[in-house]
Amino acid sequence: MTNMKKPSFNDTMLILVFAAAILAMPLWLDPFGGNYPDLLQKFAIYGIFAIGFNILFGLTGYLSFGHAAFLGVGSYAAVWSFKLLTMNAIPAVIFGVLFAGLLAAIIGFLSLRRTGIYFSILTLAFAQMSYNLAYSVLTPITNGETGLQLARSDPRILDKLFSDGPASAGLPSTELFGETMSGYPGFYFCAVLLIIGFYISLRIFRSPFGLMLKGIKSNQNRMKYTGLNTRPYMLTAFIISGMYAGLAGSLLAVTDPLAGAERMQWTASGEVVLMTILGGAGTLVGPMLGAGLIKYFENIFSSFDDSVLQQAFSFLPDSVLEIVVPVVGLFVGSGWHLTLGLLFMIIVIFLPGGLVEGFRRIFNYFTSGGGKAETQSVEAHNQAGE
Amino acid sequence: MSDFKKSGMSRRGLLKAGAVGGLVAATPSFFIKDAWAEEFRNNPTNSGEVKLGFNVPQSGPYADEGADELRAYMLAVKHLNGEGDGGMLNTMKPSMLTGKGVLGKKVTYATGDTQTKSDAARASAKRMIEKDGVLMVTGGSSSGVAVAVQSLCQEQGIIFMAGLTHSNDTTGKDKRRYGFRHFFNAYMSGAALAPVLNKEYGSDRRAYHLTADYTWGWTQEESIKNSTEALGWETVNTVKTPVGAGDFSQYITPVLNSGADVLILNHYGKDMINSLSQAVQFGLRDKQVNGKNFEIVVPLFSRLMAQGAGDAIKGILGTTNWNWSLQDDGSKAFVQSFGAEYGAPPSMAAHTCYVQTLLYANACEMAGTFYPPEVIKQLEGFNFDGMGNGPTLYRAEDHQCFKDVLVVRGNENPSSQFDLLKVVDITPRAQVEYDWTIFGGELGPYEVKM
Amino acid sequence: MDAIFIQILNGLDKGAAYALIALGLTLVFGTLGIVNFAHGALFMLGAFCAVTFQKIITISVKVRDEGVTAFVAYKEQPYLETWFGDTGRIIIDYSVPLSIILAIPLMLLVGYVMERGLIKHFYKRPHAEQILVTFGLAIVIQEIIKAYFGANPIPQAAPEILAGSANVGSWVGLGDNLVYPWWRLIYLCFSGIVIFAVFAFLQFTTYGMVVRAGMRDRETVGLLGINIERRFTVVFAIAAIVAGVAGVMYTPILPPDYHLGMEFLVLSFVVVVVGGMGSLGGAVLAGFLLGIVQSFASMNEVKDIFPGIDQIILYLVAVVILLVLPRGLMGRAGVMDD
C-alpha cells in the first residue's frame, strides 16, 4: 500500500487495459448484439456518470439521491450552448460541467450540513424540486415535457461569425471541428472522455485527498477530533462528483441534442445508485460495469418480443415451444424490469461487493494453488479494484 | 453495414456472424459513408424483407395502451403479408396494397419500449434504426415522446408515423418533414366539442379548467378555452395540476365555491382517471350552480383509460379519434378482424396505429420505392377513405390528417364491458379544419444528409 | 373560511394516508434497523388484495353478451348473485371494506415470509445493500402484479351508500356549500384508529414494551434471554398489515395499478425523515403536517403569489425542517447518522 501516492506500474497497466477495453467495445460487444452507436454512447456516458457518483459514494459513503439534477443541468446547459453559441461539442461540454459544478456547490453546501439518510433526503428533495420546476414552471428555459430542442432559427452566434454561407435546409448537427458527433465518432468522443474521467478518478483514489475521504468514511468523528475540518473535503468531493454528472449530461446532449426533464427525476438518481452498488461501490471499475449491465438490459432485453423468442427457440419441438416462449417472455421484452429486479436481489444477496467481487472470486478460484506470478497478479487486481 | 444483419436471422445466427461482422461493423461509419451516398438509410433493396419499427410504451403508466397498439401493429403486418382476413385492406380506397407484402417484400418488425419517456423512446428508436435496420418508426402514447422521436427521425432520414399524440405541437410548431400524424389534435377537439356543448349546456356557462401542467395540457386548455369562449362561455379560472398528482382533492375543492358550473379536465391517462373519479366523489355532478346542473367535460376521451374510472364516466362528454362502435365498412372490418384475433375490440390508439401502418405501406407502393422523399411526397396531400373516419386528407403543409371528429358521451347503460362510449355527434371535417400557419413551425427538407 | 376549513380537511385526509404508510416504514426502521424500499410495494399489494377479493367474489359464469354484434363476446354474471340474490349483491357492494378480511391474513403471510426469507439476513448489512435488495424486491413484486392484472388502474367502488358526499358544512354551521366525500371521512377515521392501535400495542402491552426496549438496545434485550428475533418478525408483519389495510382502504380514492407503490415510496421516505428516523410520533406528525401544508400550497390564492409552489412545497418544507432541526421533528441522536 505504499505505492498510493504516485501511479504505480499496476495503475498504468490498469488504465491501459481499461482504455483498450473501452475503445474496442464495438468489437467485443458485437456477438452480444450490443454493437450500435447509440448503445455504445450510452455505455460510455453512463459509465462517466457512475464513476463520478462513485467518487462521492464509494470514497465517503455519502449516499446522494439527487445526482440526476446535475445530469439534467449538464444537458440543458449543453443544448443552450448549441442554441446560442455554436454546434461545436467543446463549449457545450465545458458549460455542462461548469453549471453542474455550480449547482453541486449550492446543493452540496446545504446538504452536507447533515449526514446519513438526512443527507440523502436533502439531496433527493433538491433534485425533485429541480425536476418538478423543469417540467412545469421553468418551461420557457427547459421546454418542459417535450424537452429542449434545437431549432433552425437559433442564433448560434459563434457559428454565424465564422461562416457566411447560407444556412443549410435542415437542422445543424453537433460536431467536433467538422466531424459529426452522432454515430461511431460520437462514441469515440465519449470514450476518450470516459478514459480521461477514469484516469482522474484513479488519481483521486490514490491521492492524499482520496485517503482523507476514506478516513471520513471510516470514522468522521475521529477525523474531526484530530482538529480537521472535514466539510471542505466533502464539498470538494461532492462538486467533483456533480461535475462528472454534468459531463455525462452534456455528452447525452452532444450525441443527441435534446434535453428532457425526466433526466432529473428521482428514478434517474436511483439508477446511478443501483449501477454503482451493482458493479461494486468503492471499486474503480465496478460502477462502469454496473452502468453497462443496466443499460444493456434496458436496451437489449426489452427488445426481445415474442417473434424474436420464437426464432431463438425454433429448434425446440412445437409443444415445448408453446410453453417455453411465454415463460421466457415474462422476463424479457416488456418484462425486462422483472429480470432487473431479480438480478439486483441475487447480486446483493450472494455478492455484496457487486460484480467486481464476483469476478474476483472467479479469478481467485481459478488461480488458487497457481504459481507465484499469479498470486501477485491477484494482489494487483485487488489493489486496482479497491 | 446492416446487410448481414438480416431481420430473419436468429440470435444463434448472429453469434456465428459475429466474428466476421464485428470487424466490418467496427469500421467507423465515416470510412464507408461515401459508398452509401446514393443510397438511403436501411435501404432494403438487397433484402427480401422490409422491417418496420414499433415503438410503444411497454412499461410505465401507458403500458396497456402500448400493448393494444402492438396488437394492432401485428395485425397490420399479418394483413399486409396476406395472412388473416385482410381487415381494412379490403375497404381502403384508393389502395394499391395487394396482401403480398410491400413492393414484393415480406413485412417484418422490431419492437421497442418507450417507457413514455423522451430519452428512453429515442434510445429504443435509435436501437431499431441503427441495429435492427428498420425503415420506418411508428407508435407512442404521448405527445412529448412523439415530438422527441419525430425530430430524431428527421435527423436520421427515417419516416415516423406517429401513434397517439394529441398536442397541437406535433404537427404545429414541432412538425417535421419525416413525421406524419393520423390522430386528431387539441384544436380539433375544441372545434368539435363546442357546438355540442352549446346544444347540451347552453351558451351561458362558467367554466373552470384543471390542466395537467405540461405542454399537452396547456395546448388543450388553450384550444378548449378559445372555442368555448367563442360560444359566450366565461372562463372562471384555469388551474395547473402537477402531473401524476394522484390525489386531486385540494384542486377540486376550490371548484365548489368558485361559482363555476362546468369543470373541464384537461387530463389524460391516470391523471384523468383520478381527477374525474375524485371530482364525482366530491359530489360535483349532483350540484346545482347558477340554477343549472353542474357538468364535467373531459375533452380527450380514451375508452381503454375510461375503464379505470368505472362509473364516473357515465354521462361525461368528450371527443375521441375513433370508436369501435362505428358502423362504416372500414371500422366494421377492422373490429371484426381485431376481435377475432384478440377477443376484445380495438382502442382508438390501436386504430390509429393500424391505419398509419397501412398508409405507409400504401404510400411505398404508390411511390414504387422505399426511398423516403418519394414516399413522403405520396403521403402529402393523399386523399383516402374507408379507414373508419370517412374521407380523410393528409394535409401536405403540416402532415396532419383531417377527418370527421367523434363527440362521445360516457355510456349510461353499457350493453357490454366494452361499450363505454356512445357517439353523440360526428363533427364533419370542414368544421375542424384550420389554417396551418396558425401554429408556426416548419417541416424541413426532404433530403437528409447522412 | 369555507375554503380554509375544507383545505384543512383535505390536508388531514392526505396526511392520514402519508402517516399510515410512514408509520410502518419507521416502525420497521426503528426496531429492525432496516431501510425497506419495498414498503410502497406492500401498500400496493394491500390495494390489490381488494382487487383480488373483488375478483373472487365476482367469479362469474360466462354468458353470451347480446350487446355486441360485431363478434362473439361474453359478459359475466357473478355466482354470488346467482346463488344469493340480493345478499350476494350487498356483499359485492361492500367488497372494499370486506376485503380487509382477506388482506390481514395475506399481508401477515407476506410480511412473515419476507422477513424470514430475506430481511433477516440483512440486519447487519449496510443500509445501501438493504436499499438495493428491497428495491429489487419491490420491482419484482410490481412486475408480477403487472403480469397478472395489467398496467391500467382497476377501479374499486366504495359501497353505494358511501359513494356520495357528506354535508360537512351543516354539521359545523358553515352552510350547505361545504361537502366532503363520505369515503374520505371514513379513511380519516380509519387511519386514526389504526395509528392509535399501533401506539396502544407498543405502549400498553408487555409485548410492545419488549419491542420498544429492543428498539433502544437490541443486544441487552437479547442478553436478558428474550427471543427478540421472533418479536421482530411480528413487528415486520404488523408493518406489512398496516401498509396492506391502508392500501385496501385507499382504493376507492385512487384506483390502484401496479405502479402505486413507487409513487408513494419517495414521499413516504420524505415523511419518515422529516419526522425523524425511527420515531413513530414524528412520522405521524410529519405526515399530517406535510398533508396540510400541501393542501394550502395548492390554493389558488397561494399559487398566484408563488407560481408552481404546489409542485415543490413538500420538498421545500422537508429541506427547511432538516436544515433547522438536524434530526427531523422528533428524531433521536445516533440513529442513522452514519
pLDDT tens by residue, A136-182: 888 888 888 788 888 878 888 888 877 765 556 667 888 888 888 88
Binned average pLDDT, 10 residues per bin, chain B of 450 residues: 40 41 41 48 87 91 88 96 92 91 93 88 92 93 91 92 94 93 95 94 94 88 94 93 85 88 92 91 87 93 85 92 93 95 93 96 94 94 93 94 95 86 92 92 83
Q: Is it the case that residue C2 has pLDDT exceeding 80? A: no
Q: B5 and chain A: CB distance < 8 Å anywhere?
A: no
**pLDDT tier, C45 (very low <50, low <70, confident <90, very high otherwise):** very high
Q: Is A84 left (phi over 0), alpha (psi -120 to 50) or beta?
A: alpha
| Distance from the C60 Cα atom to the nearest Cα atom in chain A, whole angstroms | 26
pLDDT of residue C142: 92
Q: Give the 3-state secondary structure of residue B237.
A: strand
Which comes out higher in pLDDT, residue B6 or C104? C104
pLDDT of residue A164: 62
Q: Is it the case that residue C210 has pLDDT exceeding 90? A: no
Lowest pLDDT segment from A346-350, B205-209, C212-216 = C212-216
Q: Find the closest chain A residue to C326 by CA distance.
A: A114
Q: Which chains does C contact via 3+ CB–CB distances below 8 A?
A: A, B
pLDDT of residue A180: 84
pLDDT of residue A102: 97
Instruction: Please report, rounded to a whole number, the percentage of residues in chain A having pLDDT higher than 70.
Output: 91
pLDDT of residue B18: 41
pLDDT, mean of residues A368-381: 44
Q: Which chains does A contact via 3+ CB–CB distances below 8 A?
A: B, C
pLDDT (tens digit, 9 = 90+) per residue, A220-264? 777 778 878 888 999 999 999 999 999 999 999 999 888 888 899
- Residue B104 φ then ψ, to 5°: 80, 0
pLDDT of residue B450: 62
Question: How many C-beta neighbours within 10 Å does residue B415 have?
Answer: 14
Instruction: Please report, rounded to a whole number, the percentage of residues in chain A having pLDDT higher than 90.
Output: 42
pLDDT (tens digit, 9 = 90+) per residue, B303-341? 888 888 888 899 999 999 999 999 999 999 999 999 999
Please state the domain extents for chain C. 2-324
Q: Find the closest chain B residue to C67 by CA distance.
A: B415
- Give the closest of B127, B151, B243 to A38, CB-based: B127
Lowest pLDDT segment from A55-69, A126-140, A166-180 = A166-180
Q: Is it the case that residue A98 has pLDDT exceeding 60? A: yes
CA dihedral B198, B202, B208, B209 (to 10 degrees): -10
Contacts A220 to C, Cβ<8 Å = 338
Q: Find the closest chain A residue to B28 by CA distance.
A: A184
Contacts C12 to B, Cβ<8 Å = none
Range 61-90 of B in CB contact (< 8 A) with C: 61-64, 67
Which residue in the block uniquely carries the three cell numbers 368528450?
B318
Contact A135 B11 (CB under 8 A): no
- The domains of chain B, with CATH numbers, are 39-184+325-403 (3.40.50.2300), 187-320 (3.40.50.2300)
Q: C312 and chain A: CB distance < 8 Å anywhere?
A: yes
pLDDT, mean of residues A38-59: 94
Mean predicted lDDT score pLDDT of chain C: 87
B168-171 LR contacts (CB < 8 Å, sep 24+): B168/B219, B168/B223, B168/B439, B169/A146, B169/B143, B169/B215, B169/B219, B169/B439, B169/B441, B170/B143, B170/B146, B171/B398, B171/B399, B171/B400, B171/B439
Q: A147 and chain B: CB distance < 8 Å anywhere?
A: yes
pLDDT of residue B288: 87
ipTM of the complex: 0.86
Query: Under a CB-based contact definition with an 8 Å cutoff, are residues B176 and B199 in contact?
Result: no
pLDDT of residue A167: 55
Which comes out higher in pLDDT, residue C163 or B260? B260
**pLDDT tier, A383 (very low <50, low <70, confident <90, very high otherwise):** very low
- Give the closest of B29, B58, B118 to A183, CB-based: B29
Range 284-343 of B in CB contact (< 8 A) with A: none
Contacts A113 to C, Cβ<8 Å = 323, 326
pLDDT, mean of residues A316-330: 81
d(CA A353, CA C132): 12
pLDDT of residue A380: 39
The model's pTM is 0.87
